[in-house]
């Protein structure tokens, strides 16, 4: 824990919190609101498409590498502006309801999409700042710190928010989340400046994307690059599939109340997210990235086991607590090692652009998992569905094994 004597880690922890805060507001919490409003399962599954900006953010990522806002350094200026926009979009969500429609699309989707767009951009800029502020040997632990903050923020907006919604209503809850988000720009003001800057060479914004892609394949090698991209694409596939309709499963199938789900997320999930994220970051200091990728992929498959038992056994608070604990602890470790891999593949000339590209690859399967999850549940039932998710979680192990030589060649080890 000596790393926390460095103020950079505290700033990163808070920035991670504010990166995770809007995530659930446009995903699980919004899904709960739509479920509570009695919308059809197919419409609820469509809500998961709001993560589309996370897959497409590479399209506007070059702006963050090439354009510097006046009065700030390259990262903090954009971060301050994005966080201000997030506050406004969440406020807009607070004044709408799922029942108000524009054709077949609820009006609430519009500010929710704006919030998702800005949240994806915020994560991209924070990760770029993180990659440039921390050295290579610090990135394993810094990834654990960031993921811990992110998951705590997501639990507040996904657990505490449900408790608040049960007591004060959805609109008041979203107003409270917007008020909490107002603190984010002040944290940005205290973030250390980025002293590493891109090379003094001007490029057209449209050419930056191609330059970043070409730089990656030239630096890594074509075959190795393809294997690494497959690892990134599949590493969180099982998690994304299992959690796509998780809130609907707990509310509609298991008949848990909003307050119960919120309390479990607030207590058990908070503790397991803190322990899992930090444990994963600290553990990575003692092994190579290759070994961590294998081990954490196997561990995160366990995150689905509790939900399989819950689906077949029926409603049980004890099983819910167990499932929530393993999901946050195990899945958090997988997120840490994936982020560490992505950061170590980035080059300072194209940090934001390459981060966005790699994260777009990681989020690519998640774009379709909502409708896919709804279809799988309809055909196989909830218990078998979570079993399929476990099998999907083992897929990246194959690609990591195939990429062992590439990983070792790149010397992406955290042991000097």
Domain boundaries, the chain: 2-190+205-410
Measured in whole angstroms, how far is the alpha carbon of residue 5 from the centre of its chain?
26
The span from the CA of 27 to the CA of 32, in Å, is: 9
- pLDDT, one tens digit for every residue, the chain (416 residues): 445 567 888 999 999 999 999 988 887 788 888 888 776 666 666 676 777 888 788 788 778 877 778 767 778 889 999 999 999 999 999 998 876 665 455 788 889 999 999 999 999 899 888 888 887 677 778 877 888 888 889 888 887 888 898 889 999 999 999 999 999 999 998 888 876 554 444 455 556 677 778 888 888 888 888 999 999 999 988 888 887 778 778 888 888 887 887 777 656 776 787 787 778 878 877 788 888 899 999 988 888 888 899 889 888 888 888 888 888 888 888 888 888 888 888 776 677 778 878 888 887 777 777 778 878 888 888 889 999 989 988 999 999 999 888 777 665 433 33
Q: Give me the count of residues in the chain.
A: 416
- Beta bridge partners, 413, equal 288
Give how far Cα 130 sits from Cα of 142, 151, 295, 343, Å. Answer: 8, 17, 25, 9
Could you please state the CATH topology (level 3) that the domain comprising 2-190+205-410 is classified under.
Answer: Growth Hormone; Chain: A; (1.20.1250)
């Amino acid at each position: 824990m000596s790393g926390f004597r460095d103020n950079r880690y505290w700033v990163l922890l808070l920035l991670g919190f504010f990166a995770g805060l809007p995530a659930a507001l446009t995903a699980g919490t919004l899904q709960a609101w739509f479920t509570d409003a009695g919308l059809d399962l197919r419409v609820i599954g469509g809500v998961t498409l709001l993560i589309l900006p996370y897959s497409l953010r590479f399209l506007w990522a070059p702006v963050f590498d090439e354009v510097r806002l006046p009065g700030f350094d390259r990262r903090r200026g954009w971060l301050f502006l994005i966080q201000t926009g997030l506050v406004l979009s969440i406020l807009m969500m607070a004044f709408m309801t799922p029942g108000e429609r524009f054709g077949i699309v609820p009006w609430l989707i519009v500010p929710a999409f704006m919030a998702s767009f800005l949240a994806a951009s915020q994560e991209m800029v924070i990760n770029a700042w993180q990659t440039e502020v921390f050295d290579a040997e610090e990135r394993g632990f810094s990834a654990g710190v960031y993921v811990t903050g992110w998951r705590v923020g997501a639990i507040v907006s996904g657990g505490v928010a449900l408790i608040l919604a049960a007591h004060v209503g959805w609109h008041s809850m979203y107003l409270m989340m917007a008020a909490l988000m107002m603190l984010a720009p002040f944290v940005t003001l205290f973030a250390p400046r980025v002293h590493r800057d891109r090379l003094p060479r001007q490029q057209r914004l449209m050419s930056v994307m191609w330059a970043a892609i070409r730089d990656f394949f030239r630096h890594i090698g074509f075959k190795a690059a393809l294997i690494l991209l497959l690892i990134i694409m599949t590493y969180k596939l099982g998690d994304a599939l299992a959690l796509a309709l998780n809130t609907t499963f707990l509310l509609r199938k298991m008949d848990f109340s909003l307050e119960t789900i919120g309390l479990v997320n607030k207590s058990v999930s908070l503790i397991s997210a803190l322990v899992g994220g930090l444990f994963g970051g600290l553990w990575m200091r003692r092994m190579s990235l290759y070994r961590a990728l294998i081990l954490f992929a196997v561990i995160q498959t366990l995150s689905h086991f509790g939900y399989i038992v819950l689906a077949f056994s029926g409603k049980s608070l004890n099983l819910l607590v167990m499932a929530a604990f393993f999901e946050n602890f195990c899945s958090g470790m997988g997120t840490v090692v994936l982020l560490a891999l992505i950061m170590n593949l980035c080059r300072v000339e194209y940090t934001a652009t390459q981060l966005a590209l790699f994260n777009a690859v990681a989020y690519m399967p998640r774009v379709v998992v909502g409708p896919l999850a709804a279809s799988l549940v309809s055909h196989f039932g909830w218990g078998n569905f979570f079993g399929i998710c476990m099998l999907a979680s083992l897929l990246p192990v194959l690609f990591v094994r195939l990429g062992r030589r590439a990983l070792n060649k790149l010397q992406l080890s955290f042991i000097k």
